Chain A
Amino acid sequence: MLTYNTLIVLVGTSLLGASAGLVGSFAVLRRRSLTGDALAHAALPGLCLAFLVVGERSLPAMLFGAFLSGLAGIGCISALRRWTRIKEDTAIGIILSVFFGAGIVLSRCIQNLSVSGSKAGLDSYILGKTAGMIFQDVVLIAGLAAFCLAVLLLFYKEFRVVAFDPSFARVQGWPAASLDLLLMTLIAVAVVIGLPAVGVVLMASLLILPGASARFWTDELDRLLVLATIFGLLTGAVGTLISTRYSLLPAGPIIVLTGTAWFLISLFFAPRRGAIARWMLARRVHSRLGQNKLLNLLHDLSEPSWPGESAWTIEDLSSRKSWRPGQLKHLLQQAVIWGLVEFSGTGRYRLTADGWQKSAELARNQRMWELILTEHAEWSGCLANLEHTGVQECVPPEFYLQLDRELRERARYPKVLVQEK
């Protein structure tokens, strides 16, 4: 059953999941995922220092310290990148480990030196601990989440242009660097909200997973942001419920694993962008190419005797092109089902009327491409579209008519189609 405490924790983790998902999406799109990770790790020393300064466990003070040192870490990364020849990934690696190392040392010092240190529960900020969440914490989380949402709504247009094309944005006069800094501030806020629950080590996944998952389900930025927020919210809620149900399991890692599970589902099962959908598309394209290859071959073999009959055995066909084992048989069966090829008895196959028409059109397309490549190389740029469309859709109408004419002049025009038009 849901107790009051569980409810508090549930609301808190849902809100932190939602805000991390929302601002994290922009980090993913802006290719700043790792920066978010560095920011989370860099928050630890600030948290400890704030505890030392205030002298007791005060969540707002410690989170403010975390916020400042997180931003300081980001500042160091930008400075290294800008003023030295160190590349961004190296800078991120250095800052992440240095700040995190300093944070660990500080937290151990606090626990060793003072009596109250052991009460600080600093360890829980490394891997996260949701059980201690109280009503005031949730109010704080809700306030910060609302702040993130408000800023993103206000600057939606500006963030969008800077995220997609920063140099274009700069030419238009948008201060890309300041907007980036604002984005980093929002990420720092989201990190700070999430620290007590999932800790500095796992925070990055809460920023990255919802946005990365949402990308599989939509091609529109506004929908992606809505989806990422929902995914983040559900990740926090479901993760918390699982960890309360099995009270031995730590909440932070469970929340992260919940997010990962949803990411994997998205990765495999999303329509169109998912791995399975892409695999099926690749198979369809492959099978169509095979079918075209078969029809082209049948056409080239049969055309000389047209309109007379001609039929071919599997051996005739298999000796003239290379096929994978079983492929030719499968393609022939398919063509028979589609009514393009028929069985003529005595183990031979021939084109049906539909098959003649279809294969002749394919042959015309094929021969036009050959003509373009040999005689009109300046048009070969159109080849990029070969996979999806025929010549007619790729070149201007007057050039298509010219190709048509040239094929007829060279007696390369498919006989079946000569009567047309």
Chain B
Amino acid sequence: MPVGDQAPQSAPILDVHDVTVAYHHKPVLWDVDLTLREPHLVGIIGPNGAGKSTLLKAILGLVPLASGTVSIFGQPLATQRKLIGYVPQRESVDWDFPISVIDTVLLGTYGRLGWFRRPGRAERERAQQCLEQVGLADFARRQIGQLSGGQQQRVFLARALAQDAQIYFMDEPMAGVDAATERVIFELLQTLHAAGRTVFVVHHDLRTVRDYFDYVVLLNLRLVASGPTDVVFTPEKLQAAYGGRLPILDAAAEALRTQEAGHAHL
């Protein structure tokens, strides 16, 4: 899979340097440094209010940076937008908007079309394929509000697939979805990984971190740790990220134990 034509091979996929974000003088993300050189499935985890979504939005230029820089394949974000796919939180849009499922997926192709060009047959076929990939081919003509929550999440995934990106950013795609949708997402992540794509996922369920991600970014306002899941997803580092919030920590430790038991069986 070719990686951004204009980028030298040595440039890291994503380089976040010294990023701080503040809302009304209150910092919500401090001095985050993060460099990713190889394609990975990256789970961004941390307690509530740790700045997980904010980190995603800072990388994507959706919130102003108080300081720091972000580069994608060695270039600033503005020149690399065609390499980026985005799955926002489901609650961020009005699902009563007059738009059909297929037209929503079609929005994903707009970035490559550029100004004024309308999507044609090639884009429509691509959108239909993406819809099939998330198992919603039969729902193409429905208005998006008629879908269940999980199906709506899958529409957003299909739209991101239609962006045909190198790096995907997903904001809590597995929050409040049904098991069928979670499975579709899991398989999609595997497919994207096999194709050499990088996926950043804001994730809240510590029990499934080991199953989904081979790389973990552990946040709590600042970067606690980042690296391969085996190295970072440890009780000590989780303790450092989640601090004294014992119930959560116990749940995490419990999750780790069952996971390890599970892995031992394999």
Contacts and interface: CB of A to CB of B under 8 A. Distances in A.
Interface of A: 29, 31, 85, 154-158, 160-161, 163-165, 167-168, 170-174, 215, 218-221, 224, 378-379, 381-382, 384-385, 394-396
Contact of B116 (A157, A161, A378, A384): A157
Contacts of B103: 220-221
A396 B181 CA distance: 11
B100 A219 contact: yes
B93 interface: yes
Q: How large is the interface on B (under 10, 10 to 19, 20 to 34, 35 or more residues)?
A: 35 or more
Given A157-B116, A381-B150, A384-B148, A29 B98 contact: yes
Given A157-B118, A165-B92, A168-B86, A173 B179 contact: no
A169 B178 CA distance: 27
Contact of B88 (A168, A218, A378, A384): A168
B150 A165 contact: no
Interface of B: 24, 57, 60-62, 78, 81-82, 84, 86, 88, 92-94, 97-100, 103-104, 107, 110-111, 113, 115-119, 143, 148-150, 159, 163, 169, 176-180, 183
8 contacts: A160-B107, A164-B93, A167-B57, A168-B107, A168-B159, A172-B163, A173-B81, A174-B110
A396 B135 CA distance: 12
* Most A Cβ at <10 Å: residue of B61, B62, B110: B110
A277 B207 CA distance: 45
Contact of A171 (B81, B176, B179): B81
Contacts of B159: 168
A85 B23 CA distance: 12
Contacts of B149: 384
Contact of A158 (B88, B98, B99, B115): B115
Given A157-B116, A167-B62, A381 B178 contact: yes
Nearest to B159: A168
Nearest to A29: B97
A413 to B, nearest CB: 24
A394 B150 CA distance: 11
Given A154-B116, A157-B113, A170-B62, A219 B98 contact: yes
A171 B62 contact: yes
B150 A171 contact: no
Contact of A167 (B88, B104, B148): B88
B88 A396 contact: no
Contact of A161 (B107, B117, B180): B107
A192 to B, nearest CB: 26
Contacts of A85: 24
A301 B109 CA distance: 58
B107 A395 contact: no
A378 B182 CA distance: 11
* Most A Cβ at <10 Å: residue of B84, B148, B179: B179
A165 B88 CA distance: 9
B98 A215 contact: yes
B112 to A, nearest CB: 9
A381 B149 CA distance: 10
Contact of A219 (B61, B88, B111, B143): B143
A275 B148 CA distance: 22
A172 B111 contact: yes
Nearest 10 CB-CB pairings of A with B: A381-B178, A219-B143, A172-B111, A173-B81, A171-B86, A165-B93, A171-B60, A221-B98, A164-B97, A161-B107
Contacts of A385: 148
B73 to A, nearest CB: 16
Contacts of B113: 157
A220 B179 contact: no
Given A168-B88, A171-B86, A382-B178, A220 B62 contact: no
Nearest to A381: B178
* Most B Cβ at <10 Å: residue of A161, A378, A379, A394: A161
Contacts of B143: 219
A132 to B, nearest CB: 38
